[in-house]
Chains A and B, each alone.
Chain A
């Protein structure tokens, strides 16, 4: 299992390619109309922008020498109007850009989040949660600008380049070549720096993700850190991560900012070259009859400047592209994460469950070659209550996980009412199962909301009834705002037992056909537990249930007890049968009882 922690970069195998951008076209295509409009408006602005210098030149060259103040004012007004039009078009364009950009990343985020919902436990268990969070939030935010503005700007600047190129050609083909001669140097710079640029940006993205992961985990584990007096050391680790981020950010920045000086310097050298070539090498073209053709030279110089402007812009866009690629590949990495547990194409909904369960020759391995369940078979009749006992790591939780198909069996079949679970839809299956896991999870919101999570359309009364059944009502109603008390993520401020009771109520409310309790009441006091059992007895009548617990008092009344050891069911039967058999269960039971007898005897 490839697991990851805060200080391990998540390496990417795939090399950088245009595939990333081709894939992002899916998101862009939806806004074809908007992007087309933006391109059209941008071209309109470019064309109009060509007009303004002409007006200016006309005023200076024609109107002022001609002493026509009236016309000057008139053209001034026209000039202003043209500018206003440009500004308004730009505004329109920006408006579309903002909306489209936000829409694209909102769509992308939705897809990432939706895909995350399909990923199995493995994915979440094998990396710090902060790293997943960073992908959904920060990385997605980082790609908006390029996917809208960057691409359009690139097209626009390329168009500009072509225009200017042709303008230059009309003046002097030879001199155009001089201007172009600077380009190879620029490309060489890009080619040389590209691997490093890309590497540093990837590293920066990685280090940012590492830092966020470490931060997030430390926020959640702050109390442990304090209890173990690790503040200084963790600060040292965090500083190390920050330092790495800083180093790679700066390295990326050194190169990124290098683009501008190189292109500007090249444009300056090209300008020198134009003068030198005009005076010394192409003097026949530029000094005619002893008169320097200064107009042609200055025109060439100004075109050269305008040629290198877009090159600089393209350089910036290229920087953005590299940045965006570093984030896009991470985003697509999440989207490419295979969904290991999914509906088959022809999956059918599972009809209402009666409650018969059967395992046929079930083999399960998390990792190839190390089976956790070794060909387990058993049958459960509807309404039966089954207890699973056995040492830690024997496979009890695995059986339970397979029942809700949180994992797929490696081999064999799990059937409910004769329906193979691998052939039914997950939704129809899990909706009818009530699973209460070891890890209670409380969402931020009111206690009522948390109970209602079990059945969203439940009324307040139904939620309260569920809470009453599991004896949670007492402590909830004692709280300041009762059922409307706000809890934080993870239920800060509630004791472990209270959290278990709330999540028990939640499970009960979901009205499951099959109930699964995995060490669900371990932190609840014995008396409350007994009351809970009494409280839910009526509710559970006729429903199949699976219980994993260490307190034998919790399980001895179950219809059948299965003793699991290293992936096999070694004993099965009801309490009396197993006691009679005097096997492992008997030993376990008698040892617990022996202890309790001793306890009581000591008190006597």
Chain B
């Protein structure tokens, strides 16, 4: 399997007559884009698109998802398979990436479970999406009483459609003359080749846990609701084409946005070290369902797959906190007891004072654990000149409280409320230590 990412670097956004990219400027035809997303009858008439650039005095709230614009220009299938494209397998050929650009979806979807992105100031240090040029979709439901899950679906599709639209327009405008600023090639061997390759190096995998608690805590794999799957193997290259899509409305800090799935830094780092420090054989995706039987079944099945493939070790990443800590821990000790070494990536809920235990479950085998920080730590976000969305949501989102929003527009919240602040795919540099 070979995938080339053709990256066009974007460092500025502008509205204009034709959607396309030139000289680092991504131009967006607002009217055309609005027409595209308003095709969905579930979305209302008051839709809007706005632009937010790094360094701007702009606060985006409440944020649902962030997606990177991509479009396949060669090879089977198309981006976000099973969602807005056909279900065919992706991960081969060439994919255009508008690097530095992102689509941000906003709306009062589930009251509590959306986040904040500040494009400048101290809040910007915590979110990776203050460094991207953001095309912000302000989405309202056509019926104010619409069920939240229908509204969520509409927002999810609007985001994916926009991401694909932006990259597709750029590809089509350039045609055969498309010239990327940077091309990265990735190769991934099939299991037979992988088993014979790199003798002497340990065979390793990546156990990729996806949030699937249901009731809007959902993730999709090729369009399939992941809570309904048994753990399965997946090439890391498929992830780059959007095989995994977030449908999550969980605390903003540690929901894995679609953007961070597309750019999974664990996959990137493991591919970089492949052939040097270890032989990276495969990803195994698994779910985080709510019942004990599901947790036991999925953890046994996922670790069994790792054992069947003869893996010596796996990196395990979690999504969310609390209930999924139990899945993380089961995956850890089951793998270790099968002789498969583990390293864990999670985040912490140690209380605002940092004095409580950080995880809801624990095992002695979890002796190699990296955390993306304590999500309960409180931060003050000074006022921004412009708010895209609804600032008052700060009082009700997870991580906020009544009074989080001060009259001058400053917001005092836990890091929990900041989109991607404690990414459990490890997309930030935040961590924690014990004093």
Chains A and B are bound partners: no
List residues of B whose CB falls within 8 A of some A CB: none
